Amino acid sequence: MIDVVLGIETSCDETSAAVLVRDGPRPELASLVILSQDIHTVFGGVVPELASRAHLTAIGPVVDQALKQAGIPLDAVDAIAVTAGPGLVGSLLVGVCYAKALAAAGDKALIGVHHLEAHIFAPTIEHPDLEPPFVALIVSGGHTLLLDVPQWGRYRVLGETRDDAAGEAFDKVASMLELGYPGGPPIEHLATQGSDRFDLPRPMLGQGFDFSFSGLKTAVLHTVRGGVDLDADKADIAASFQAAVFDVLTGKTRAAVEQTGYGTVVLGGGVACSRALAMHMARHLTGLARVTVAQPRLNADNAAMIARAGWFHLDQGERSDLYLEADARMPWPGLERQPRLSSSRPRS
Ligand code: KG4
Ligand code: ZN
């Protein structure tokens, strides 16, 4: 029986480790350490080579700290769950090699985890009763995915972005507004001081479940270059851009809820750190579905969600062997792309 899982996440620019321990039938979070790499802020984005070097320096101390905070010696760890992909290959390699070494040396179980699947598990750490079926919206720096989740381990793609991811759009618009990287938090903050007075497009709203954010990004660029006073108008541009993104995300999620008849929506990924998005979504789904979102620390990249997704797969009897590889474009196990929706599905 697996009672203690050590999670490791190094897919991008956070080095993170976490410990989950069995509490009755459920896993409970005993510790979570996240070390964010500041170095990338001066470059306006993540520099892969610098990220992997920083992971190399940090991984040992971060894992040690997570075990120490949990009060659990390495010997007591039953299994290691590690992000195997998708992500930056050099960064992934650091975590995967470290996890394999720990598993081999201590004769522990090993499980490679898909980073995006882990984002869906994040809210279950605080809301252990959360169970499918639900609609999941994963919005991160690299992905925008709307999913029908009929049960854990099965994910049907309803829609995804055709160009930029939602978080990527936030980062690019933040750069136009000279707000630094990552762009989501300063845009969310600035938007509270502005109003949605620029008439920006809501791309593909009302047209199926796919997303497109590059046209919106270009519309912001035209606005910025079109003679606005950036200092005076920055907050209104941020508010207008954020409102346009939220209208699209919310509109399509609402349509997915109406089509599936599910009563729960799960938000995940870095953009779901935005309280403004969670509130906007909850407001527009009132009476239709409950919106569940983890606290920001569990939504941004972290090892607790990796340990939690690994826990699920370990519980299913799955194991990775020591041939586990870091895979920058790792296929998502259980992901189906063909639509399977019937309007006769009962509301949960
Ligand atoms: O999931 P994540 O931490 O890393 C990836 O796997 O991509 O997502 C990072 C993304 C960045 O694009 C960042 O700007 C965005 O999440 N983000 C936000 C907020 N906080 C982070 N976007 C909008 N509002 C926020 N408050
Ligand atoms: Zn992520």
Question: Which pLDDT tens digit goes with each residue over 154-193?
Answer: 999 999 999 999 999 999 999 999 998 889 999 999 999 9
Does position 37 have pLDDT exceeding 60, yes or no?
A: yes
**CA of 277, closest atom in ligand 1:** 24
Q: Say how many C-beta atoms besides its own lie within 10 A of residue 104's C-beta.
A: 11
Cα of 3 from ligand 1 centre, angstroms: 32
Q: Going by C-beta distance under 8 Å and a sequence separation of 6 or more, which residues neighbour residue 199?
A: 240
Per-residue pLDDT at 300: 92
Task: Work out the pLDDT band at 339, boundaries 50, 70, 90.
Answer: low
Q: What is the pLDDT of residues 286-319, one digit of tens each?
A: 999 999 999 999 999 999 999 999 999 999 999 9
Mean pLDDT within 94-111:
98
Cα of 271 from ligand 1 centre, angstroms: 4
Q: Among 179, 273, 281, which residue has the most ligand 1 atoms within 8 Å of its CB, making it the best to mutate?
A: 273
Nearest CA to ligand 1 atom 2: 270
> Which-ligand-closest: CA of 14?
1
Q: Give 308-327 as a 3 state SS string.
A: HHHHHHHHCCCCCCCCCCCC
Is residue 171 in contact with ligand 1, taking CB distance under 6 Å?
Answer: yes
Of 49, 130, 137, nearest in space to 90 by CA: 49
State the pairing for strand pair 134-139/144-151: antiparallel
Q: Among 9, 190, 271, which residue has the most ligand 1 atoms within 8 Å of its CB, making it the best to mutate?
A: 271
Q: Give the chain as a 3 state SS string.
A: CCCEEEEEECCCCEEEEEEEEEECCEEEEEEEEEEECHHHHHHCCCCHHHHHHHHHHHHHHHHHHHHHHHCCCHHHCCEEEEEEECCCHHHHHHHHHHHHHHHHHHCCEEEEEEHHHHHHHHHHHHCCCCCCCEEEEEECCCCEEEEEEEECCEEEEEEEECCCCHHHHHHHHHHHCCCCCCCHHHHHHHHCCCCCCCCCCCCCCCCCCCECCHHHHHHHHHHHHCCCCHHHHHHHHHHHHHHHHHHHHHHHHHHHHHHHCCCEEEEECHHHHCHHHHHHHHHHCCCCCEEEECCHHHHCCCHHHHHHHHHHHHHCCCCCCCCCCCCCCCCCCCEECCCCCCCCCCCC
Is residue 269 in contact with ligand 1, taking CB distance under 6 Å?
Answer: yes
Is residue 301 in contact with ligand 1, taking CB distance under 6 Å?
Answer: yes
Rounded-to-integer distance, Cα 171 and Cα 39, Å: 16
- Is the separation of the CB atoms in 306 and 83 below 8 Å? yes
In the numeric block, which tokens belong to residue 316?
Answer: 């299913």
Q: What does pLDDT average to over the chain?
A: 94
Is residue 273 in contact with ligand 1, taking CB distance under 6 Å?
Answer: yes
Is residue 184 in contact with ligand 1, taking CB distance under 6 Å?
Answer: yes
Is residue 173 in contact with ligand 1, taking CB distance under 6 Å?
Answer: no
- In the chain, the domains with their CATH numbers are 4-122+298-336 (3.30.420.40), 130-293 (3.30.420.40)
Is residue 185 in contact with ligand 1, taking CB distance under 6 Å?
Answer: yes
Cα of 99 from ligand 1 centre, angstroms: 26
Which residues, listed in sequence order, are joined to residue 27 by a DSSP beta bridge?
22
Q: What is the pLDDT of residues 252-285, one digit of tens each?
A: 999 999 999 999 999 999 999 999 999 999 999 9
Which residues, listed in sequence order, are joined to residue 5 by a DSSP beta bridge?
20, 79
- Is the separation of the CB atoms in 122 and 298 below 8 Å? yes
**CA of 301, closest atom in ligand 1:** 3
Q: Among 115, 170, 301, which residue has the most ligand 1 atoms within 8 Å of its CB, making it the best to mutate?
A: 170
